[in-house]
Amino acid sequence: MDTKKEVLSILKDLTSEDLSDKMDENIFANGLMDSMASVQMLLNLQDKFNIDVPVSEFDRKEWDTPNKIVAKVDSLRNE
Amino acid sequence: MIKDVIKKIDEVAANDPNRIVYDYLGKTNTYDDLKKRSDVWAHKIESLDIPAKSPIMVWGGQTFEMIASFLGCVKSGHAYIPIASYSNAERLTMIQEVSESKIVLAIDKLPDVDLSGIQVVKPDDVKDGSYQIDQNKFVEGDDNFYIIFTSGTSGKPKGVQISHANLLSFVNWELSDFNLPQHPSFLVQAPYSFDLSVMSLYPALTAAGKLVVLPHDVTQNFVQLFQTMPKLQFNVWVSTPSFAQMCFLDKTFDAKHHPNLTHMLFCGEELPHDEVATLKKKFPDAHIFNTYGPTETTVAVTQVEITDDILKKYDRLPIGRPKKDTKITIDKSKGDKADDGEIIIEGPSVSKGYMNNPEKTQNAFFKQDGDKYQSHRSGDEGFFDGDMLFYRGRIDFQIKFNGYRIELEEINHYLDQNELVRYGVAAPKYNKDHTVKQIVAEIELKDGIKRKYSETVLTKKIRDDLAKNVMPYMIPQRFVYREKLPISQNGKVDIKSVIEEVNK
């Protein structure tokens, strides 16, 4: 499974925007995502990649750009 | 059957003074504390020079002092207006203007706001003591008990007046029809300015139960939320469906970690089928209820337990059967589909109307000759299958977003007022569960604006301007700039077609 492609597809579903040329854009600062949308994103990522996101240690700063999300998902998949 | 909410709570305090009533992150208070503190508040309010029965604004979060001051208001014959302390200053000013309230109880620190002519009473001004409050002064019958302000289409919030009789009808129904445990302990997650909180508050207090608080700011932060939640123990879960979905993120949200949880009550927005299926796996023995009701009819007026059979039978879940004292009819002259129509609710829990707003009251409420009770036009579209009511959408531009009730036209009103904007339309974007997942602002700018600013700067300017006038949950997530928005025959922006376009 192509992590980047799937992450972008989940983000597109949530924000209605194609972020493929904005991989380093902060999706919280520009208002595209709020806390409820990030819940949905994490639920979708858990489903899609069968990963376990440690939410009680969730730090938004580690998840605030498409590139960071891809990196996070990859590291969780390899655990 | 309870006959008087306030007297019943005092009775619990007299019989069982040391029973815990409030648990705020481990800080507990007893029924005796509640009796004493509410009497002190009532005594203080009686000493103030304000008109009899005039409403009192209460600004704060979800601490014990909030509910003590609410009871202090109603014990001294005044309705209270709860205002969450995450609101902006403008909200407080607008509520003051509409309600003409002359006093605010500042349980939390007030925002920087001009309050000339308004008395401010702080908890420190209310010294502990022992006072006898005359029961004849208690709010009763058709007198207002609380007034909750909701979004209004013209930018002015509407104050829904709920009387003691309204509240009594609701509380007796919840205590009889949900088969709740003895001394139920309720989760309180919703702020008190949101009537979902009433689903926990008065049923708990009148049944000698307990309120277990999960404060708003904790729910806004995952780390805090998922560290706090497993420590809270309660029998009755009360929340919006979207809040419970958020909790799915944490592995400890299950029967193993919440062994006392026997009942789950949902209200405030559509309950998705998938969500109940997941809940049944996590809490196999819990009774899961869907409920429905506008704030105007006191929290909720229909309920149904979502059993395995119902889950199998329906893709889109029913909202339930009306409570015994209430009659629901479908006005088929309204709405788009043949079998659907507007849900009309008649019963003793229907509000007398919006405070100081005869025009809006007349549009949404009526009482025909021979009717025993007031009726409310809900603006919700639905239909009956046998005795089971189903919800299908709105006949106007009101939405529910993460449980919050929003008039899209209120957002439009403030977008249009912005000096950069010619027309602005806030459009809900729905997911497959028919739930709003995002609000998109579709904007047509005034001439020359687009050349002057980048879209990022424009969005920041418009967003900041909105934040001054509307609640934080009403600010659109996305801003889209259009050359032209569609105009309908009457010369106004065609909101329906903008919404259709956003959901294509």
Q: Which chain A residue has the Cα nearest residue B229?
A: A56
- pLDDT, position A23: 93
- Quote the CA–CA distance of B143 and B168 in Å, as a whole number: 12
- pLDDT, position B109: 96
Is pLDDT of A7 > 80? yes
pLDDT, chain B, mean? 94
- pLDDT, position B376: 98
- pLDDT, position B155: 77
Structure tokens at A36: 């409820």
> Binning pLDDT at 50, 70 and 90, where does residue B437 land?
confident
Is pLDDT of B335 > 80? no
> Binning pLDDT at 50, 70 and 90, where does residue B81 land?
very high
Which domains are present in chain B? 5-321 (3.40.50.12780), 404-502 (3.30.300.30)
- pLDDT, position B223: 84
> Binning pLDDT at 50, 70 and 90, where does residue B261 land?
very high
pLDDT, chain A, mean? 86
A55-68 mean pLDDT: 87
Percent of chain B with pLDDT over 90: 81
B302-327 mean pLDDT: 97
- pLDDT, position A57: 77
B349-368 mean pLDDT: 97
- pLDDT, position B102: 93
Q: Flag whether B58 is marked binding.
A: no
Instruction: Write b or e for each residue in B194-212: b if 16 or more Cβ atoms lie within 10 A of its Cβ, otherwise e.
Output: bbbbbbbbbbbbbbbbbbb
- Quote the CA–CA distance of B69 and B73 in Å, as a whole number: 6
Contact B304, B312 (CB under 8 A): no
Q: What is the DSSP letter of B180?
A: P
B356 part of contact set with chain A, CB < 8 Å:
no
ipTM of the complex: 0.76
Contacts of B463 in chain A (CB under 8 A): 31
Q: Do the Cβ atoms of A16 and B429 come within 8 Å? A: yes
**φ, ψ of residue B4 in degrees (nearest 5):** -150, 120
For chain A, positions 32-71, list CB contacts with chain B under 8 A: 32-37, 39-40, 42-43, 46, 52-53, 55-59
Q: Do the Cβ atoms of B249 and A55 come within 8 Å? A: yes
- pLDDT, position B492: 85
Distance from CA of B471 to the nearest CA of A (A): 15
- pLDDT, position B154: 76
> Binning pLDDT at 50, 70 and 90, where does residue A17 land?
confident
Residues forming a β-bridge with B329: B344
> Binning pLDDT at 50, 70 and 90, where does residue B76 land?
very high
A10 part of contact set with chain B, CB < 8 Å:
no
Tell me the CA distances in angstroms from B319 to B68, B237, B271, B380, B383, one per residue in order.
33, 18, 9, 12, 10
pLDDT digits (tens, 9 = 90+) for B107-166: 999 998 888 889 999 999 999 999 999 999 999 999 999 999 998 877 789 999 999 999
Is pLDDT of A14 > 90? no
B1 Cβ contact list (under 8 Å, min separation 6): B172
Is pLDDT of A16 > 80? no
- pLDDT, position B327: 97
Which domains are present in chain A? 3-53+64-77 (1.10.1200.10)
pLDDT digits (tens, 9 = 90+) for B372-403: 999 999 999 999 999 999 999 888 899 999 88
DSSP reduced 3-state for B343:
strand
Percent of chain B with pLDDT over 70: 100
Q: Strand B421-430's sheet: what is its strand order? A: B421-430, B436-445, B478-482
Side chain identity at residue A68, one-letter code: K
**φ, ψ of residue B7 in degrees (nearest 5):** -65, -35
Percentages helix, strand, coil for chain B, rounded to the nearest 5? Answer: 35, 25, 40
Structure tokens at B360: 């809006």
Higher-pLDDT residue of B441, B456: B441
Higher-pLDDT residue of A59, B483: B483
